[in-house]
Amino acid sequence: MDIDKEELKNEAKDTVNQVKDTIKNVDINKEAKETKGFLKGMLVDPFGTVERVARGEQELFKRAVVLVMLHMVFAFIVSIFGYKYGGVLNQLKQIIFDTISPAIAIIVPTILIILMNKNNKKSATTIISTLVVASVPKILVSGIDILEKILGSIYLITSPISTALSAIAILLAFVGMKTLFGEEKENFLPKFALIKFVTALVLYIF
């Protein structure tokens, strides 16, 4: 795998600066309304939305940053409500890890795709936007998890919904990554499996 360290460094620097600008200038009320409208549109055509973002036809990086932040907030709340073992320090470490996990789950595959996708290069912002949009069902699952922590009795109703949403998230991720690489699904499947495996391994190690 031919790695251009300088290119990767510059890509990371530009992306971090864009994230900082987005967080600094975000209008919560405006983004909340626009994100709500975006989610409604995505319900109508989720796979088409992911493909358009992956092809660079729809610029959603700012919204992607907001969605990741929302996912992290949900993960933090779920972790606070969750069962904890060990001392206070271990509990704190677990809460921190749970909170940043959604960001790690986007950053790791983004780096892998940049390194592996030499024939159909995409910007880091496009890759991140694609992965975040594909992970929207997971964000919804985190919201459902909060409801389950508060209202345990709804588990029997929400559990099948969460399972279905998690499956949809995997399919959306496959379609999004395949479009980023510009490959047929049969040829891309091993790469997709590798990216998911490495991401899961990193999350496990952390």
Domain assignments of the chain as residue spans, ordered by start: 5-205
For the chain, what percent of residues have pLDDT higher than 70?
Answer: 90
pLDDT at 193: 95
Amino acid symbol at 130? T
Q: What does the alpha-carbon distance between residue 105 and residue 139 come to, in Å, rounded to a whole number?
A: 12
Task: Give the pLDDT confidence of 50-95 residue by residue, as tens digits.
Answer: 999 999 888 888 888 889 999 999 999 999 887 566 667 888 888 8
Residue with the two structure tokens 């360290």: 5
Q: Is the pLDDT of residue 15 over 80?
A: no
Task: Judge whether 145 and 77 are in contact, CB under 8 Å.
Answer: no
Task: Give the pLDDT confidence of 112-168 residue by residue, as tens digits.
Answer: 998 898 788 888 899 999 999 999 999 999 999 999 888 878 888 899 999 999 999
pLDDT at 30: 75
Q: Is the pLDDT of residue 28 over 80?
A: no
Conformational region of residue 86, where left means phi above 0, alpha means psi within -120 to 50, and beta covers everything else: left
Q: pTM for the whole thing?
A: 0.86
22 or 92: which carries more pLDDT confidence?
Answer: 92
Helices (H), 26-153: 28-44, 46-54, 61-81, 88-116, 124-134, 136-150
Task: Judge whether 167 and 99 are in contact, CB under 8 Å.
Answer: no
Q: Is the pLDDT of residue 36 over 60?
A: yes
- Comparing 13-17, 23-27, 99-103, 187-191, the range with the smallest average pLDDT is 23-27
Task: Give the pLDDT confidence of 180-204 residue by residue, as tens digits.
Answer: 999 877 789 999 999 999 999 999 8
